[in-house]
Amino acid sequence: MKVMVVGGGGREHAIIKKLRENSEIDTIYALPGNGGIARDAVCVGIAATDLDAIVDFAVKNHIDYAVVAPDDPLVLGCVDRLEEQGIPCFGPNKNAAVIEGSKVFSKNLMKKYSIPTARFEVFSNASDALEYLKTAPIPTVIKADGLALGKGVIIAFSREEANAAVLSIMRDKKFGRSGDKIVIEEYLTGPEVSVLSFTDGHTVVPMISSQDHKRAKDNDEGLNTGGMGTVAPNPYYTKEVADECMEKIFLPTIRAMREEGRPFKGCLYFGLMITEDGPKVIEYNCRFGDPEAQVVLPLLESDLFTVMRSVTEERLSQVDVRFKDASAACVILASEGYPLSYEKGFEITIPEEILENTYVAGASLDGDVLRTSGGRVLGVTAVRDTLEEAVSAAYRMCEDIHFENKYCRSDIGRRALEAK
C-alpha cells in the first residue's frame, strides 16, 4: 500500500516511524517532510497547505491512504478534497476541524453542551472589548478566534497589557483575519494535561496522557514556543481525573459534534487544566500535538495504521488500542535564539544507534549532510520503565548529538517528577 503523510515536522516523523511498523505499507510519502524524515519516507516538495498540489499528487500516484497531520490543511479542508477523489483519510473534515479553527465556535459549543471551560465573552469589535476590559477581572486571557501559529493566546497580567493585546489583534490585525473576532476569558490555574484521543465520531479512546513544556527557558520562563519537550504519562492525570474527563468532557464533546452535524473523525486533542473545580478545557486541537506525538506514539503498543483505518471506517470500538506500561520523555534540541532569531545551516551529527529515537523537525539535506534549518531542530525520545529513567536517558542521548548553537531546556519532566 502507498500511504501519504501531509506535514513536515517532528510530529509527522513520529507518525511515519510508527506507520513503518505495519508490513502492509510499502511506501510512505511525506509532503513536504524534511531532511531527517527522508530516512524514513519519500519526501515530496509540496507544501502542506497547497491543497491542489496535494490532491494532484495523491491521484497521480494512486495513494491508498492519507494522514493529514497539521492544523492548517485540516482547517482548509484537505480531507474533504482527498475524500472527493475517493482517497480514505485520517483526520477531520473541514466542518469538524473548526473545533480548532475557530475558538468562538469551540467556546460556544462548550457553553451549549455544558462542557467545563473558562467563562468567556466574544467580541467582534475592539471598542466593545476595551469597554468590557475596564471592569474585567485581571489576569485575563485574550484569544484570537482563528489559527495564529500557536501565538494567538495572550495572558494579560494588567489592564494595559489586555488593552494592548486587543488593539494588536483587532486594530493592527497582527494575525490577519484570524483576529476578526476574539474571545476574552477567565484566567484559570492548575496543572496542564494534554490528552490526545482517537475518535471515529461515535467512540472515543483517550491515548496516554502527556505534558508539554511550552516556554523557551527553564522553570517555564521565557517566550512561548512550539514546545520544548514532553513527558508521558502526566502524573496529574490520575484515574479519578481521567474518569471525570471521560464523563464530563470527552464523551460530551464527541456527542456535541455529532449533534451539530459535524462528526469528528481523527485525533482530537484535549488541552486541559486541572483546576480546583475539576478539569476544564483550555483548548481543542483537531490533530496530534507536537511534541506530544513524540512521546505518545512511541508508547502505543497497538499498530497505528490499524487504529487509524478503524477510525476512518467508523469501527474504532472493535479495535484494541493499547499503550505500554512505561514512561517516555522527549527533549527538543533547538537553535539558540529560538523562538526569535537564530542562525541555521549547521551540520548535525547523530550517532547511528540513536537515530531511531530522534524525530526531526527543522533540518534539511545538503547532499548527505543533515543541516539545521529551523528553530526546533529535532526531538530525542527515550522510553523506559519509569519517568526518571526516561528523562535521564533522553538527556544522555542529547549529549551525543552535535550541531553548533544547540540549545535545550534542562528541566524537561522536572515538574512531573516532583508531582509524583
Binding residues for ligand AMP, per CB under 6 A? 118, 141, 150, 153, 155, 185-188, 192, 214, 271, 282-283
User: Which of the choices ligand AMP, ligand GLY, none does residue 91 contact, using the CB cut-off of 5 to 8 A by kind?
Assistant: none
User: Which of the choices ligand AMP, ligand GLY, none does residue 326 contact, using the CB cut-off of 5 to 8 A by kind?
Assistant: none
Rounded Cα gap, residues 62 and 196, in angstroms: 30
- Binding positions for ligand GLY, 221-240, rule CB under 6 A: 227
Nearer to ligand GLY (CB atom), residue 69 or residue 370: 69
Closest CA to 142 of 130, 15, 351: 130
Closest CA to 289 of 355, 192, 218: 192
**Which residue in 10, 290, 299, 338 binds ligand GLY (CB under 6 A)?**
290
Q: CB count, 10 Å around CB of 234?
A: 27
Rounded Cα gap, residues 389 and 409, in angstroms: 17
* Alpha-carbon torsion angle 230, 27, 314, 280, nearest 10: 10
Compute the least distance from the CB of residue 87 to ligand GLY, in Å: 25
Closest CA to 287 of 377, 226, 196: 196
Classify the phi-psi angles of 195: left when phi > 0, otherwise alpha if psi is within -120 to 50, otherwise beta. Answer: beta
What's the maximum distance between 2 C-alpha atoms anywhere in the chain? 61
User: Which of the choices ligand GLY, ligand AMP, none does residue 141 contact, using the CB cut-off of 5 to 8 A by kind?
Assistant: ligand AMP
Contact track, ligand GLY, 168-207, x by CB under 6 A: ----------------------------------------
Nearer to ligand GLY (CB atom), residue 96 or residue 296: 296
Q: What amino acid is encoded at 145 in this protein?
A: D
Nearer to ligand AMP (CB atom), residue 36 or residue 339: 339
Contact between 294 and ligand GLY per CB under 6 A: no
**Which residue in 212, 250, 331, 381 binds ligand GLY (CB under 6 A)?**
212
User: Which of the choices ligand AMP, ligand GLY, none does residue 292 contact, using the CB cut-off of 5 to 8 A by kind?
Assistant: ligand GLY
**Among all chains, which residue has been given the C-alpha cell 527557558?**
217
Nearer to ligand GLY (CB atom), residue 50 or residue 212: 212
Contacts 24+ apart (CB under 8 A), 318-321: 321/198, 321/205, 321/207
**Which residue in 92, 289, 375, 379 binds ligand GLY (CB under 6 A)?**
289
Please, where are the H alpha helices in 231-352? 239-245, 251-259, 293-296, 304-312
Compute the least distance from the CB of residue 336 to ligand GLY, in Å: 21
User: Which of the choices ligand AMP, ligand GLY, none does residue 130 contact, using the CB cut-off of 5 to 8 A by kind?
Assistant: none
Closest CA to 207 of 226, 230, 224: 230
Nearer to ligand GLY (CB atom), residue 11 or residue 406: 11
Compute the least distance from the CB of residue 291 to ligand GLY, in Å: 6
Nearer to ligand AMP (CB atom), residue 2 or residue 248: 248
Contact between 292 and ligand GLY per CB under 6 A: yes
Contact between 10 and ligand GLY per CB under 6 A: no
Compute the least distance from the CB of residue 265 to ligand GLY, in Å: 19
Compute the least distance from the CB of residue 269 to ligand GLY, in Å: 7
Rounded Cα gap, residues 82 and 66, in angstroms: 8
**Which residue in 285, 327, 357, 373 binds ligand GLY (CB under 6 A)?**
285
Cβ contacts of 204 within 8 Å, gap of 6 or more: 197, 198, 246, 250, 251, 253, 254, 268
* CA of residue 266 relative to chain centroid, distance: 13
Rounded Cα gap, residues 346 and 358, in angstroms: 17
Q: What amino acid is encoded at 125 in this protein?
A: N
Nearer to ligand GLY (CB atom), residue 282 or residue 348: 282
Q: Per this entry, what is the length of the chain?
A: 420
Compute the least distance from the CB of residue 67 to ligand AMP, in Å: 22
User: Which of the choices ligand GLY, ligand AMP, none does residue 227 contact, using the CB cut-off of 5 to 8 A by kind?
Assistant: ligand GLY
Footprint of ligand GLY (CB under 6 A): 212, 227, 285, 289-290, 292
